[in-house]
Structure 1
Amino acid sequence: MSKEILEKLYFKAVNKVKAKNLIQNNISLKDNILTLVDTKYDLAKYSGLYIFSVGKASFSMAREVEKLLKDKITGGLAVCLEEKKLKYIDTFKSSHPLVTKRSFKAGNLLIEKMSSLSEKDLVLFFLSGGASAMVEKPIEGLSFKDFEKVSTAVLKSGVDIKVLNSVRKSISQIKGGKLASYTKAKCLTLVLSDVIGDDLNTIGSALMYDKKVPHYIIGNNKIALKEAKESIKNKVEKTKIITTKLNKNTKSAAKYIKEIVQKYDNNYDSFALFFAGETTTKVKANGIGGRNQELALRLLEETQFSENISILCAGSDGIDGNSNSAGAFIDKDIYSKIKKMNLDKNEYLKNCDSNTFFKKLNYDFTIKATGTNVMDFIFVLKIKRS
């Protein structure tokens, strides 16, 4: 029962920041007047309207914009992870989480299309998490092999997203706002944030973050968690969004979460606590897993929670590390199952093999890619058992 409630909370949060809701809540068109958030643009003043979209939510964003704007769209490009087509916007399938030669081709395609536009054109550029790996054009003289070595080493080092993207910008011809310099068109960027504090200098390695390009944040983890919180507030004694800026390694995060949970456990008979952000981890072995499942494993290592508490740690994009799972569950019953199966959680932790551990117990949270990304969620639920 607890797993089902946690899963519902997860999808409440994720669905709030999916493309359909984000587009409907932030974009409208009436009598040729395009309204983006709270700003109006008269399309009659522009020769063409072009849509560009990059990131894990790229295809779904572009698809929903097509449904809204239809033949008002002159053209554009969606660099996405799906092998799908759109009516008015070209698509190109790229790669994630590692930069590949497809990322290079995607970068060149973006530059080619954006460079062809004039100052009389209007560009809506949709940016979401994953863009950093999906499009790239390295600095002159840096071969693909050398670029791959640098980016892979940094990705596996455990550094946070700001450091990771700082390195990416330094070896790129399009990141850090450089992509905006390739076009004369009037550009507007709409952002689905996947970084701590919605830092526009970090999201997607700031492809279009130039002072001449207005940016609108249309989705983030705060919006997502508020929706989940609202959905359960009448079913528990206390609801609380603890943080949307969790930014610790998995070991420190587990300790922090444990302390918060114990405090609420001592004071309330039932509650729902919400955490969001992005933990970090160092990949030291060749197991299968990701930071969310490792966090769940460390929470198991940290303490045994009281009888009525259950937890879900999961990535909002439906993907965790190199596994096919989004995350993992914890509840009181898991401890007896671990004992019965004689599993050594520390051994799995050492081998970076958290997914194998939770799959054996049937406590993995495995779903399809969600088509959105606002970092990671930790839901903690305490309900009275009947």
Structure 2
Amino acid sequence: MSREILEKIFYKALKKVQADSIIKDNISLKGKSLKIVDKEIDLNKIGSLYIFGVGKAAYAMAKECENILKNEIKGGVIVSTTTGELNYLKHFKSTHPEVTTKSLEAANLLFDEVAKMNENDYFIFLLSGGASAMIEKPIEDLSLEDFIKASSSLLTSGIDIKALNTIRKSISQIKGGKLANKIKANGQVLVLSDVIGDDLNTIGSAPMNNGEFEHYLIGNNSIALNEAKNYCEQLVEKVEIVTTTLDSSSLEAAKFIAEIIKKYDKKYSSFALLFGGETTTTVKSKGGFGGRNQELALRLLLEDILEKELSILCAGSDGIDGKSDATGAFIDFDIIKKIEEKKLDAKEFLEKSDSNTFFKSLGYDFVTGLTGTNVMDFVIVLKKGE
């Protein structure tokens, strides 16, 4: 039952930041009056309306834009990892998290398409997490092969997303506002944040952030967790969003979360604790399966905090956790008995960076499939009480 409740809390948070919700909340059309966040655009006074987008949520966001704007859209291109076609826009399926030749093709396509706009045209650019890998054009002295090697090494190094994207921008012709430099038209950038602190210089490696175009933050971890908090208030005595900026190694994060749980356990018979952010992990074995969320769940398991009424879900909002088909994992009191029955050693799986194999074998992995959004990760701690 606790697992079902954890899933409900997760999906409440997720729905608030999915494409249909955030686009409907921020784009509307009445006659020829287009409203984007707080800005009114008279379509009679512009040339053509274009829509561009890159990221894990780009396809779903574009789909909702098409539902609202229909044939007012005169062109544009969307880059994502989703399979599907759009009615008014070109859609290019790229790759993530690895940079590949597809990433280069996507970047070249974007450069070509934005160059078609004139000064009196207007655009909406949809930016979400994952864009860094999906579009790429290395600096002239760097081959794509060497760029891919560098990117792959960075992804498994354990460095945080901010440092990762800073390095990416320095060796790219598209990141750090360089795509925006090619645009003559006016427009706005709608941003779904997947980084700590919602830093516009970091999200998607900031392809449009050259100081010329206004960026609007329309979805983030905080918005999602506040929705989860509202739902949890009817379930337990105390609900707390502890942080939306969890930013440390999975080892440090597990110790921090464990201490918070102990503190609340002494004061309340039932509670829900919500954590958001993104931990880091160093891949110790290329043969293992899993990612930072499942590793965090495994480390929390080793913190010896589980009791009968306590359950935890660590999960990514995008539906993917590292090298696995899961987005996270559950832990609860009953898992201890199952580990003993199967004679599994959690520490051994941790050393092999093989958290997914561990949880999958116990039936505790959490699989959602691609969610069409990305606002970092959620850790949901629930103590229901007797």
TM-score (norm 1): 0.99
Tell me the amino acid that sits aligned with residue 381 of structure 1: L
Separation in structure 1 between the aligned mates of residue 300 and residue 193 of structure 2, nearest angstrom: 27
Question: Which residue number in structure 2 is paired with residue 290 of structure 1?
Answer: 291
**What is the letter of the counterpart of residue 314 of structure 2?**
C
Given the alignment of the two structures, is residue 314 of structure 1 paired with residue 346 of structure 2, yes or no? no
**Partner Cα separation in structure 2 for residue 312 and residue 29 of structure 1:** 39
1:207 corresponds to? 207
Aligned residue number for residue 10 of structure 2: 10
Match of 1:378 in 2: 379
**Pairwise CA distance, 1:19:** 0.5
Matched, 1:79 2:79: yes
8 A Cα contact 2:51 2:73, kept in partner: yes
- Matched length: 385
Partner of 2:34: 34
What amino acid maps onto 1:43 in structure 2?
A: L
Q: Give the CA deviation at 1:31.
A: 2.9
2:369 match: 368
- Deviations 1:204-228 (Å, cap 9, x if unpaired)? 0001012110000000011101111
Where in structure 2 are there 5+ consecutive unaligned residues?
Answer: none
Equivalent in the alignment of 2:147: 147
Give deviations 1:360-385, integer Å, cap 9, x for gaps: 11110012110100000000000124
Please report how far the alpha carbon of residue 89 of structure 1 lies from its aligned counterpart in structure 2 after TM superposition: 0.5
RMSD (Å), alpha carbons? 0.8
* Deviation string, structure 1 residues 304-340 (Cα, Å, up to 9, x no partner): 3222110000000011001000100010111111111
Q: Which residue of 2 aligns with 1:241?
A: 241
SS at match of 2:311: strand
What letter is aligned with 2:268?
Y
Render the CA deviation track for 1:18-51: whole Å, top value 9, x for unaligned.
Answer: 0100011111112312111112122222110000
Distance 1:8 1:194 in 2: 22
Aligned to 2:134: 134
Deviation digits for residues 56-89 of structure 1 (CA, Å, limit 9, x no counterpart): 0011000000000011100100101122111110
- What does residue 95 of structure 2 align with? 95
Residue 257 of structure 2 corresponds to which residue in structure 1?
257
**CA distance in 2 between partners of 1:160 and 1:82 (Å):** 25
Secondary structure of residue in 2 paired with 1:178: coil
Per the alignment, residue 62 of structure 1 pairs with: 62
- Between stretches 355-364 and 32-41, larger displacement belongs to 32-41
Q: Is the 8 A contact 1:304 1:332 kept in 2?
A: no
Asked whether the equivalents of residues 258 and 305 of structure 2 are also in contact (C-alpha less than 8 Å), the reply is no
Name which of structure 1's ranges 205-214 and 302-311 shifts more when overlaid on structure 2. Answer: 302-311
Q: How does 1:262-273 map to 2 (within 5 A)?
A: 262-273=262-273
> Structure 2 CA distance, aligned partners of 1:232 and 1:126?
31
Q: Structure 1 runs of 4+ off > 6 angstroms?
A: none
The aligned amino acid for 1:49 is L
Give percent identity, aligned residues only. 58
Give the whole-Å Cα distance in 2 for the aligned partners of 1:384 and 1:233. 14
Partner-residue secondary structure (3-state), 1:92 = strand
In the aligned structure 2, how far is the partner of 1:204 from the partner of 1:187? Answer: 18
Is 1:44 matched up with 2:44?
yes
Please report the TM-score for the alignment, with normalisation by the length of structure 2: 0.99
Cα distance in 2 for partners of 1:73, 1:37 equals 18
Q: Structure 1, unaligned stretches of length 5 or more? A: none
Structure 1 segment 338-357 matched on structure 2, within 5 A: 338-357=339-358
Q: SS of the counterpart of 1:320?
A: coil
- Report SS of the residue matched to 1:280: coil
Counterpart CA distance in 1 for 2:137 and 2:187 is 20
With 367-376 and 227-236 compared, the bigger mean Cα shift is at: 227-236
| Residue type of the alignment partner of 1:72 | E
Whichever residue aligns with residue 243 of structure 1, its letter is: T
Find the aligned partners of 2:347 and 2:234 in 1 and give their Cα distance: 38
Paired residue secondary structure (2:11): helix
Structure 1 counterpart of 2:248, which letter?
A: K
**Displacement of 1:163 after TM fit?**
0.3
Question: Which digits, 9 at most, give the CA deviation of each residue in 1:70-118, with x for residues without a partner?
Answer: 1110010010112211111010010000000000000000000001211
Letter in 1 for 2:371: T
